[in-house]
Each structure stands twice: as structure tokens, then as C-alpha cells.
Structure 1
Amino acid sequence: MNHACYWLLDSVIENPFPVHWLNPSYEDLSMAFNRKHHGLSLSEVEESFSELCEKRYLGVYIGRHFSEYDQTPLFPSMLEIRSALRGETMMHYVVTPEGGKQWEALSPPEWQKYSVTGGTPMCIVAGDKAILEELLLLESYIAPSYEIVSESVRKSTIKPWRATYWKTVAVGYSACFETVKNVSTTKDTSMEAYNRWSEILNWYEQPDV
């Protein structure tokens, strides 16, 4: 698999994104994907996207809003892809289960290290109990603007755990909690804690493609 195809697959491993964000002229591309610009021309994006759709590694959902990824995705033609890349048709693209298998073969992930954080109340879910406990401890150091209300922490086990919209693993461990604003003006992000947090979040390796 070449760089272009891998970049496209890898970009939606955790979340779907609008197809038009892939247009090289999209000024917020790097910020939107939170990764380095793909460096491809528009024609290269079109050809690679079409190739992945033909192989059923990528699919699309049409529309601006959707909440169900259980529906069967569509596989657009080149004309439809071009229209979406130019923002004329709103599409979101997703990795399919088969595309996910191809990605896993290239970037063997450590799903036990995978985690998600968010929601109200705030929740952290991880594939390993020890990882969850460590992330819970690190939270107040990497986000010094608030503190966890310790007595509000509620833990649970999720079997099976839908880690991403396309991947379900045997088990996940969850901790949900309330937070309060930190009134201290001296509490700063610990670099040691941040480095460890970054290490944990590095749950797969990108291949040299």
C-alpha cells in the first residue's frame, strides 16, 4: 500500500470526516485532521480515494449529519468523489471492517492501550484496567485547569467494548467522574506526566510507506 492510500485509511481509523476536508486547497486540513498534511495533489487524492472505495476499504455516508455507523456505507463513483472533494456534495468517509483489517496488518495496534476521553460527565474508557488507572491519575496533571472530584468517580467494565465505530474488542474499562475548576494559580502541566500520557496514547506504529 502506498503513502496516499495509507494516509486516507489512517485518517479515519478513530472518527469519520467530511470528504471535502481532503482537498489539498482546504486551508485547515492539518488542523482538522490533527496530523501532517497529506502532501497530495487533488488528482492523487481522487485516484487513491477511488481505489480504496473500489476495494471496499473506504465507504461514504451522504449528508451533513448522521449518528448511525451501522448502516452499510456507499461506494461512490469517481464523478461522485470529485463532487464531494469540491464540496458540491456533502459526504463523510469511513473505513470499512475490511479496510480496518488492512490497516491493522500495516499498523499492528495495541488495543489494550487505546482509550477515549469525553462526555458529560467526563469519562475515560481504555482497553486495559491498568492503563485506565494510570490515565485517571495523569488527568489532573495534563489538564491543570480542572480537578477530578474523587468521590464522584464511578468505574465499570464494558463487555464487549465498541472501541471505534468499526472495531469492537472483548472488553473495555470505564471511569466516569465530575470535575471542578482548579482555583490554584500555581498548578502547571507536568512535563513528565505529559510525556507519559503521550507514550500511552501512542498505541500503534505507522509503517514506512
Structure 2
Amino acid sequence: MDYAEFWILETAVTAGVPFSRVVGPPAAIQAQWNKPYHNLTRSDMLNLLDGLARNGDIVAGSGETKFTPSRLQIDEWLVYDHPAKTCRWYYLTPQGGERWARFSKANWDRYHSFEWDWHVEDLLEVAATTPEAAERVYRYVPVWNELHVLPETLNRSTLCPWAATYWKTLPVGYSVRFRCDYLEEMFKDLDDIPAYFFGNLSEAGMREAYTRVRREFEYFHHWYLQHPERPSARRSV
């Protein structure tokens, strides 16, 4: 699996991706996905996506409807900033997801989901493979994302099975659900946010506390290996 193929599969691991957002100005694509550009021309990208679709690794979709797109359809959608109403998104199939997971040596024990409930305002759910991991995620996520948690809304549950991603189901998962608000909506001065979490600590203590939170973020964020040929972010065609 070369870097470009890895790039396409990795980008859609947790959610579908608009075809219109994998081609375009390299700087814009890098900023959109926060990773180095794939360095493919539009023609090469069309060949890659068409091959993945014919191989059964990706499907196209709009809402709940998923289908295998033709080369002509991909060509139509593969336009930067294609109008959203007529563009389609691509999604991994279980086969495509597992190919990516094997190549990247995905460690599902270090994975966690992070999902807003679109039916209940401000309700967030995080889930992981063990109760201990779920609690670790719950402790770091509000600080890292600067969220004010309403503790009376906390709800812990066991998920059997657990839909870890839209293409991957695990036998069991452990969930923590809670309602929350972004602290930037509560504070006029964003410099006051650290004191909200660690107000009883000295400045040195706050730095150490944030260092621990960063370590937790990096531990869970790095749940798979990057491609060995991942280029520098400055390289682009």
C-alpha cells in the first residue's frame, strides 16, 4: 500500500469524506485534513479512487444510501469545492477498513470514539474497549477540548456489541455520555480557562497538569502507525 492509497483510506477511517475535498490546492487540502498532501495529480487520484471502488474498498454515498460509483461519477464529483447538494462522499467498506487497519497495525485498545448526539443538544459520548480506558478518555477530553461538563448528566454504560466506527464493530465497548458546553462561550477572556480546570494549582502545577493531559491525548491519538513513506508537510505537487 503506497502513501496515496493509505492517505485516502486513513482520511475516511472515522467518517465519510467528500470527493471534492481530496483534490485542490495542496495547502488547502493539508489544512483541511491536518496532514501532508498526497502528492497526486487529479488524474492519478481519479485512477486511485476508481480502483478502490472496483476492488470493493470504498463506496459512495449520500445519507443512508451507499453504492459502488462508476468512474464517470467519481470524475464528476472530483472537483474542488463541488456544490455540496450534488457532490457525494466516499466511505470505507469493512474490507477497505480492515486492509487499512492491518497495514497500519491499528491497536483498538488505544482507540476511542468521540461522537455528538445529534438528537440531544450538547450530548457527547466517548467510548473505548475497557472501562479503565473509557474513564481515562473522559478525564482528558473535557480539558483538551475545553468543555464544561454537567456532572449530573453523566451516564456510563456497556455496549454489546460496540460500533467503534461506521465500518468496524467490536464485541464490547464502554461508554461515558455527558452534556457539556464549550468554555469559550462562558469566558470573555480565554486566558481564564486554565484556572477553571486547575485553579488550585501553582503555575508550575498547571503546566505539569496540561503535560499529563497532552500525554493522554497522544497515547489515544496514536492508536495506529503512520505510513513509513509519509512525506514532509512541505512537499506537494
Q: Which residue of 2 aligns with 1:85?
A: 78
Q: Is the 8 A contact 1:114 1:203 kept in 2?
A: yes
> How does 1:41-60 map onto structure 2 within 5 Å?
41-60=41-60
Deviation at 1:168?
A: 0.5
Matched, 1:111 2:85: no
Separation in 1, partners of 2:227, 2:51? 20
Unaligned runs of 5+ in 1: none
Q: Which residue of 1 aligns with 2:148?
A: 147
Q: Is the 8 A contact 1:158 1:174 kept in 2?
A: yes
Q: Is the 8 A contact 1:111 1:203 kept in 2?
A: yes
Matched, 1:198 2:218: yes
Q: Which residue of 2 aligns with 1:38?
A: 38
Q: 1:25 to 1:170 in 2, by over 3 A?
A: same
* Superposed CA RMSD: 2.4
Separation in 1, partners of 2:151, 2:72? 54
Q: 1:204 to 1:174 in 2, by over 3 A?
A: same
Q: Which residue of 2 aligns with 1:25?
A: 25
Q: Which amino acid aligns with 1:114?
A: Y
Separation in 1, partners of 2:174, 2:217? 17
* SS, match of residue 67 in structure 2: coil
Separation in 2, partners of 1:123, 1:48? 35
Identity of aligned residues (%): 23
Unaligned runs of 5+ in 2: 117-121, 196-205, 230-237
**What TM-score, normalized to structure 1?**
0.84
Q: Is the 8 A contact 2:113 2:165 kept in 1?
A: no
Deviation at 1:154?
A: 1.3
* SS, match of residue 196 in structure 1: helix
Between 189-198 and 157-166, the greater mean CA deviation after superposition: 189-198
Give deviations 1:122-172, integer Å, cap 9, x for gaps: 22111221111112222343234x433334321100000111111111111
Deviation at 1:26?
A: 7.2
Q: Which residue of 2 aligns with 1:121?
A: 123
Q: Is the 8 A contact 2:26 2:37 kept in 1?
A: no
Separation in 2, partners of 1:143, 1:201? 14
Separation in 1, partners of 2:74, 2:100? 22
Separation in 1, partners of 2:115, 2:50? 33
Q: Which residue of 2 aligns with 1:166?
A: 167
Q: Is the 8 A contact 1:113 1:128 kept in 2?
A: no
Separation in 2, partners of 1:23, 1:164? 25
Q: Which amino acid aligns with 2:45?
A: V
Q: 1:78 to 1:172 in 2, by over 3 A?
A: same
Give deviations 1:14-68, integer Å, cap 9, x for gaps: 100110111133763223323322221111111111111111111111x4xx1x3
* SS, match of residue 99 in structure 2: helix
Q: 1:143 to 1:76 in 2, by over 3 A?
A: closer
Q: Which amino acid aligns with 1:85?
A: L
Separation in 2, partners of 1:150, 1:50? 48
Q: Number of residue pairs matched?
A: 201
Separation in 2, partners of 1:80, 1:152? 45
Between 189-198 and 8-17, the greater mean CA deviation after superposition: 189-198
